[in-house]
Amino acid sequence: MAEQERPLKILCVDADSARNDAYQRAISAIPGRSFSVLATETGSQGLSLTRTFQPDCLIVAAGIGDIGCQDFIARLGRPDGAVGPAVVVVAQPGEETAALDAMGAGAEDFIETATLGPETMQRAIGNAIRIARMQAQVQDARQQLAAMGLDDPLTSLAGRNLFQDRLTHAVILAKRSNQSIAVMLIELSDLKDINFMKGHEIGDAALREVGERLKATLRQADTVARTNGNQFGVVLHTGATYEGTLIAAQKIMAAMKEPMQTEDGPMELSLDIGIALFPNHGEDGDTLLYNADAAMGQARRARSGYAVFAYDDMLVDFLDDDASVA
């Protein structure tokens, strides 16, 4: 039997058996599609049936009772990239807030018992399955990009290979237009200590936080990537001046001064930034990265926050991370 002709599997989960019967009547009255429907009155049994019955869509009461709707959705354990099961929450009068909370926890749609019928059930089930499949396709695309180094799944930033590609193109465009670009390599210097003292979950959260603050601080046209374990890369595209790059570095350092909030209390985020500019510090991507890395290492050793590469005697021009922003 073709996939589109396969009966859709629906699992109804509601402590009220009369409402479960109403759900099943509404589903059976949907025209043009066949369904295989099961119902249960407890969330724990619903979780067990989800594993064995493998429904395409769950119809779940906002007031499940024994588990709670949000906990039920969380305990479904839908893996990233999985196509469902989609979840539709059913709210009685007064349960609208609980239904919206369930949407925030991962449900795809909700309906109210006052409007329950074949038409609303068909719309909700169709929407939920469609949204779940779209989310799965997006996640699958992200995983493919991550495998190619084009996307970093932890931070949702560009990955190492995409960063290299954009840097190469930026250099080509800068040569054609006779303009400058800047490269920054940025490391979260305390990541090893954070992982050791607070655990890798907090370390991962710190990397995500740094990525979000970098994106919020820099221009939308600039490239922000996670290039290695504790390292980020930035390309300030055509027109990046020496002075403008220093201002950008100062803004990044200022954005990191606000402690990150964790369950254990506020946590400082410490960065080291190395800067290299085209064409002064290199005329190709590899040279720019090499020199930016050298500047980052010097900033780390001097605890200066950030530093700009300088050719003169292979010295590095240190800058005070407390310098005022122009």
Render pLDDT for 51-107 as a digit per residue (tens, 0 to 9).
999 999 999 999 887 888 888 988 886 544 445 689 999 999 988 888 888 887 788
Give 170-203 pLDDT, tens digit per residue.
898 888 888 899 999 999 988 988 888 888 999 9
In terms of CATH architecture, what is 160-320? 2-Layer Sandwich (3.30)
- Does the structure show a pLDDT above 70 at 164? yes
Assign 135 to helix, strand or coil.
helix
Higher-pLDDT residue of 79 and 278 is 278
Structure-block tokens of residue 124 = 């909700």
Domain with CATH 3.40.50.2300 in the chain: 3-146
Cα angle 175, 176, 177; round to 5 = 95
Assign 248 to helix, strand or coil.
helix
Domain with CATH 3.30.70.270 in the chain: 160-320
Element (H, E) at 231: strand 231-236
Q: DSSP class of residue 323? A: P
Which pTM value belongs to this model?
0.55
Which of 3.30.465.10, 3.40.50.2300, 1.20.1090.10, 1.10.540.10 is the CATH number of 3-146?
3.40.50.2300
Give Cβ neighbours of residue 70 (< 8 Å, ≥ 6 apart): 101, 102, 105
